[in-house]
Amino acid sequence: MSEMRRVTAICNGTVIDHIPSGRAIQVIRMLRVDTNRSNPVSLVMNVPSDKMGRKDVLKIEDLELSQEELDRLALISPQASVAIIRNYGVAEKRVVELNEELLNVARCTFWNCITQNKMEPLPQKLRVVSRDPIEVRCYYCGRGQNMEEIIENIL
């Protein structure tokens, strides 16, 4: 079965491979490819993987994700591999990297944080305090962030 292509190759766009099994839908939401866009998206879940046992794969057509968009991926899928596809071939490989500070990636989820006032002009800042397991806190209020809630608060 692993020899068989589950979805067709794409001509142009982005392929995100090695997403932890079951996380592809979160990745779609995190990258906001599910809203305000009409690009075709193919999603494969729970396929066998030598490296991970099981994995998810995403193929987004006619869209080259920016490095800034890909850095968001690191929050939920730091081991993902990303290829930019042009004319059916891999044109570039991009690295998913979790920075120490996430600037304007997501809004702090704590109800009483100063940044909840959307009129306040300073940037949203989250700090990565631990990488394994991932622990993220708001730079201003210091509250730990719940990953599920962060995905809902992506900017």
Give me the residues that bind other proteins (CB under 8 A), please.
Answer: 108, 110, 112-117, 119-122, 137-144
| Residue closer to other proteins, measured from CB, 58 or 108 | 108
CB of 68 to other proteins, least distance (A): 21
Question: Can the peptide bond before residue 133 be classed as cis, meaning omega within 30 degrees of 0?
Answer: yes
* Phi/psi of residue 122, nearest 5 degrees: -70, 155
Q: How far is the CB of 118 from other proteins (least distance, A)?
A: 10
For strand 125-131 and strand 101-103, is the pairing parallel, antiparallel, or unpaired? Answer: antiparallel
Give residue 120's identity as a one-letter amino acid code: E
Residues with Cβ < 8 Å from 74, sequence gap 6 or more? 96, 97, 98, 99
Question: Looking at beta carbons only, is 81 or 115 nearer to other proteins?
Answer: 115
CB of 139 to other proteins, least distance (A): 7
106 CB burial (10 A radius; 0-12, 13-18, 19+): buried
Nearer to other proteins among residue 9 and residue 129 (C-beta): 129
Question: For 108, which DSSP code?
Answer: -
79 or 115: CB nearest other proteins = 115
Minimum CB distance to other proteins, residue 28 (Å): 29
